[in-house]
Amino acid sequence: MTNMTHWDDNKAKAVMTNSHARGAPLTGALRALVDAFGYVDDAAIAPLMQTYARSRAEVLGVISYYDDFRQSSPGRHVIRLCQAEACQAVGARELTAHVCKKTGLALGETTGDGQLTLEPVYCLGLCANGPAADINGKPAAHLDEKSIDAKLAEITK
C-alpha cells in the first residue's frame, strides 16, 4: 500500500519550502511531493516555478522526464513494471500483457475503485534479475506469471 495523504495546498507549499530551504534541487522537491501525496498536483506548478525560478515548461519538462514524478493521484497500490530492454529480453512484455489482462488495466491506468495503478518504468537497476517491478515501492525480481499473481493477490486481499 502506498503511504500518502490527499493533496493539500498548504502542506504541499510547506513540503516545497522545506525542500528548498534544505538546498534540495527541483527534483528533490518533486520527490518530496510524490513521497507525501503520491503525485505532483497542478497546483504545485506555480509555486515550484516561483521557488526554483524556472519556467512552467522547465518544471513540466522535469516532471515528464522522470518516471517517478506522476501528475495524477495513483491508486492505493502501485505496480510499476519494467519495460526496458534487459527485462524485455527475459519476458517483460509477456509478463506485462499477463498483468494487464488479469487486472483489466493498461499501463498508466487505475482501477475504478482506486485500488490499483499499473505503470511502466524504464529500468529499476535490476537488469540481471528481470523481469523486474516495483510493487508499492519495493523491488521485485525474477518475476513470472505465478509470482506476479501471488503478489497481486497479496496486495489486493
130 binds ligand FES (CB under 6 A): yes
| 152 scored as a contact of ligand FES (CB under 6 A) | no
Applying CB under 6 A, does 16 fall inside the site for ligand FES? no
Work out whether 124 is an interface residue with ligand FES (CB under 6 A). yes
> How many whole angstroms separate alpha carbon 102 and alpha carbon 145?
10
Of 17-25, 30-38, 96-104, 126-134, which part binds ligand FES (CB under 6 A)?
126-134
Residue 153, judged by CB atoms within 10 A of its CB (0-12, 13-18, 19+), counts as exposed
Kindly state whether residue 123 participates in binding ligand FES, applying the rule CB under 6 A.
yes
Site for ligand FES in 93-112 (CB under 6 A): none
CB 54 within 8 A of CB 23: no
Neighbours of 126 (CB within 10 A): 19
The reply to whether 84 sits near ligand FES by the rule CB under 6 A is yes
Q: DSSP secondary structure string, 85-104?
A: HHHHTTTHHHHHHHHHHHHT
- Position among 16, 32, 33, 82 found at the interface with ligand FES (CB under 6 A): 82
Question: Cβ of residue 147: shortest distance to ligand FES, in angstroms?
Answer: 15
Contact between residue 12 and residue 41 where contact means Cβ atoms under 8 Å apart: yes
> How many other β-carbons are positioned within 10 Å of the β-carbon of residue 152?
17
Least CB distance to ligand FES at residue 88 (A): 8
Interface residue list for ligand FES (CB under 6 A): 82, 84-87, 123-127, 130, 132
